[in-house]
Structure 1
Amino acid sequence: MHFITGKHIERRTFLRGMGASVALPFLDAMVPAGRLGDSRRAFLAADKMPLICIEEVHGLAGCNDWGATQLLYAPATVGRDFELIADHPAKSLEPWRDYLTLISNTDVRMAEPLSAPEVGGDHFRSSAVFLTQSHPKQTQGSDLWVGTPSLDQIYAKRFGQDTPLPSMQFCIENLDQSGGCTYNYSCAYTDTISWSSPSEPMPMIRDPRVAFDMLFGAGSSPEERSERRADRASILDWIADEVASLRRDLGAVDRQRMDQYLDNVREIERRIEMVEIRNSSGEERALPEAPAGVPDTFKEHMEMMFDLQVLALETEMTRVISFKTGRDAQNRVFPEVTQRDPSIRLHIMAGVRRRFSNSIRSTNTVWQRWDTYSRRCRTQWLGTAICLSSR
Structure 2
Amino acid sequence: MNKKWQISRRKMLKGVGAAIALPFLEAMASPLNLGGNYSKDGFPIRSAFMFMPNGVHPGRWTPEGIGRDFRLSPTLTPLAHLKDDILVLGQLMNKHSIFQGADGHYAKTANLLTCLPIQKTAGDNINSGGISVDQILANHFKNETLFPSLEYGLDRIQTGVDINVGFTRLYASSISWKNATTPLSKEIDPRLAFDRLFKSFVPGNSSQENPHKSSILDAVLQDAKSLKNNLGRSDQDKLEEYLESIRSIEKRVNNPSNLKDFASKITPDIKKELIRVNQNVEEYVEVYGGVNITEKTRLMFDIMALAFWSDASRVATFMFGNSVSNRNFSFLEGVSGAHHSISHHMNHPEKMEQYDLITRWHLEQYAYFLDKLKGIKEGNGTLLDNSLVMFASGLRDGNRHSPRDLPIVLGGHGGNKIKTGQNLIYEENTPLANLYTSWMQTVGLEQETFADSTGPLDFIMA
Aligned with 1:263 (options 252, 265, 272): 272
5+ residue gaps in structure 2? 1-16, 201-209, 217-259, 377-462
The answer to whether 1:47 aligns with 2:43 is yes
Q: Note the C-alpha offset of 1:83.
A: 4.3
If you compute each CA radius of gyration, which structure gives the higher value, 1 or 2? 1
> 1:71-82 alignment to 2 at 5 Å?
72-74=61-63, 76-82=64-70
Tell me the percent identity: 22
Please give the per-residue CA displacement for 1:83-102, whole angstroms capped at 9, x wherever unaligned.
Answer: 446863431213xx2x5322
Q: Does 1:341 align with 2:329?
A: no
Structure 1 residues 343, 388: closer, same or farther in 2, change over 3 A? Answer: same
Find the aligned partners of 1:215 and 1:131 in 2 and give their Cα distance.
Answer: 25
Question: Where do residues 175-254 of structure 1 align in structure 2 (5 Å cutoff)?
Answer: 175=157, 177-182=158-163, 183-217=165-199, 219-221=210-212
- Give the 3-state SS of the residue equivalent to 1:365 in structure 2: helix
Match of 1:26 among 24, 27, 38: 24
In structure 1, the partner of 2:281 is: 272
Structure 1, residues 290-340: CA drift from partner, whole Å, max 9, x if none? xxxxx9631111111111111011111111111111012222212331321
Give 1:170 deviation, angstroms: 0.5
8 A contact 1:48–1:159 mirrored in 2 = no
The structure 2 residue matched to 1:297, chosen from 285, 289, 292, is: 292
Give how far 1:263 is off: 2.1
RMSD over aligned Cα, in angstroms?
3.3
Q: d(CA) in 1 for partners of 2:73 and 2:336? A: 29
Residue-pair matches, total: 300
Alpha-carbon deviations, 1:99-140, whole Å to 9, x = none?
5322111234433331xxx31x22232211211122211112
Indicate which of 317, 321, 327 corresponds to 1:326: 321
The corresponding residue for 2:352 is 367
Report which of the two has the higher share of helix.
1
| Structure-2 change in CA distance of 1:189 and 1:166 (3 Å) | same
* Residue in structure 1 matched with residue 367 of structure 2 by the alignment: 382
Runs of 5+ unmatched residues, structure 1: 1-18, 226-241, 248-256, 280-284, 288-294, 354-362
Q: How far 1:206 sits from its partner (Å)?
A: 0.8
Report the TM-score when normalising by structure 1: 0.68
- Once residues 28 and 56 of structure 2 are traced to their aligned partners in structure 1, the CA distance between those partners, rounded to angstroms, is 41
Q: For the structure 1 residues 304 and 25, does the alpha-carbon distance in structure 2 shift closer, same or farther, using more than 3 Å as the test?
A: same
CA–CA separation in structure 2 for the residues paired with 1:296 and 1:210: 21
Select the residue among 80, 98, 107 that pairs with 1:112. 98
Name the structure 2 match of 1:310. Answer: 305
In the alignment, the residues of structure 1 paired with residue 327 and residue 46 of structure 2 have an alpha-carbon distance, to the nearest angstrom, of 31
Give the AA of the match of 2:312.
M
Query: Aligned partners of 1:135, 1:224: CA distance in 2, in Å?
Result: 38
Is the alpha carbon distance of 1:169 and 1:44 closer, same or farther for their aligned partners in structure 2, counting shifts above 3 Å? farther
In 2 relative to 1, CA 111–80 (structure 1 residues): closer, same or farther, beyond 3 Å?
A: same
Cα displacement (A) at 1:375: 1.1
Task: Choose between structure 1 and 2 for higher RCO, CA contacts under 8 A separated by at least 6 residues.
Answer: 2
**Greater strand proportion:** 2
Q: Secondary structure at the match of 2:178?
A: strand
Give the letter for the 1:347 counterpart.
S
| Amino acid in structure 2 at the alignment position of 1:101 | L
